[in-house]
Amino acid sequence: MNHKFNVLVIEDEKNILDFIVKSLTAHNYKVTAAATGTEALSLVTSLCPDIVLLDLGLPDMDGSKIIEAIRTWSSIPIIVVSARTQEDEKVHALDLGADDYLTKPFGVPELLARIRTSLRHSNRLNNDSELYKKPYRAKELEIDFLKRKITLDGQAIHLTPIEYKIVAYLAQNSGKVMTYSTIMNNVWGPYAESDNKILRVNMANIRRKLEMNPAEPVYIFTEVGVGYRMLDDESM
């Protein structure tokens, strides 16, 4: 494999930047760094990176401004890097079009996994929608999107149409965190209530049907205060 993925890292804290650059370079990524938003915006247009890692707290501008700017012309994956104190900003960033997030401090395996998932999703979206028709498979769970059929260990699982929509949407975005509002908009449409109670009620029912122990889910995980993340598709 000769092609190296080009990662633009936008981060003003030198020790975190050094850690990211070192880890990614060691894993065969080509890394370019920017310490300010202004520098980042000029690099993102000249470099056309494959993926962007974005610290939300930059000295010269709010990281969400960079997401908005990039999203006016490009769908390149953006992973937001945030501090624990920036919970609200994180959800806002995802709703603006960021693909995923990492909360500081994070380790190398987590960093690499998030990057791989986001790159895979952007490839999948860029190619064509055919891959969306491929069944989802993870552990004992299988979803056939064409037949709208869900099986667990070979046994058919009966979901309501709404429950199916939620699970299918999460499965088609498996490995990625999906915010409550993104899921609600996708399932109930743009006039969905802003209260996510209906989603949480449906999720409780889904878990009763899918999970051996709904309190310790293995297929659909809760990202507290953000949304849900479905176990990565093993067939990808």
The least CB distance from residue 83 to Ca ion, in Å, is 8
For Ca ion, which stretch binds (CB under 5 A), given 6-14, 63-71, 139-147, 168-176? 6-14
The C-alpha atoms of residue 155 and residue 94 are separated, in whole angstroms, by 35
Q: Does 89 bind Ca ion (CB under 5 A)?
A: no
Name the residue among 80, 73, 71 with its Cα closest to residue 52: 80
For Ca ion, which stretch binds (CB under 5 A), given 11-19, 68-76, 194-202, 211-219? 11-19
- Whether 91 contacts 103, CB under 8 Å: no
Q: Which is nearer to Ca ion, 17 or 230 (CB)?
A: 17
To the nearest 10°, the Cα dihedral for 160, 162, 163, 166?
A: 160
The least CB distance from residue 57 to Ca ion, in Å, is 4
Would you give the distance in Å from CA 230 to the centre of its chain?
10
Token pair in block for residue 40? 């980042």
Q: Does 12 bind Ca ion (CB under 5 A)?
A: yes
Binding string, residues 41-80; x marks residues near Ca ion by CB under 5 A: --------------x-x-----------------------
For Ca ion, which stretch binds (CB under 5 A), given 12-20, 45-53, 159-167, 211-219? 12-20
What is the H or E stretch that residue 227 is in?
strand 227-230
Provide the H-helix boundaries in the chain.
14-26, 37-47, 63-71, 87-96, 108-127, 161-172, 180-188, 197-210
Q: Which is nearer to Ca ion, 87 or 211 (CB)?
A: 87
Give the three-state DSSP class for 98.
Answer: coil
For Ca ion, which stretch binds (CB under 5 A), given 7-15, 25-33, 104-112, 156-164? 7-15
Task: Name the residue whose CB lies closest to Ca ion.
Answer: 57
Question: How many residues belong to the site for Ca ion (CB under 5 A)?
Answer: 3
Q: Does 39 bind Ca ion (CB under 5 A)?
A: no
The size of the chain, in residues, is: 236
For Ca ion, which stretch binds (CB under 5 A), given 4-12, 70-78, 144-152, 164-172? 4-12
Q: Which is nearer to Ca ion, 57 or 135 (CB)?
A: 57
**What distance, in Å, lies between the first and last C-alpha atoms of the chain?**
18
Using CB under 5 A, list all residues that contact Ca ion: 12, 55, 57
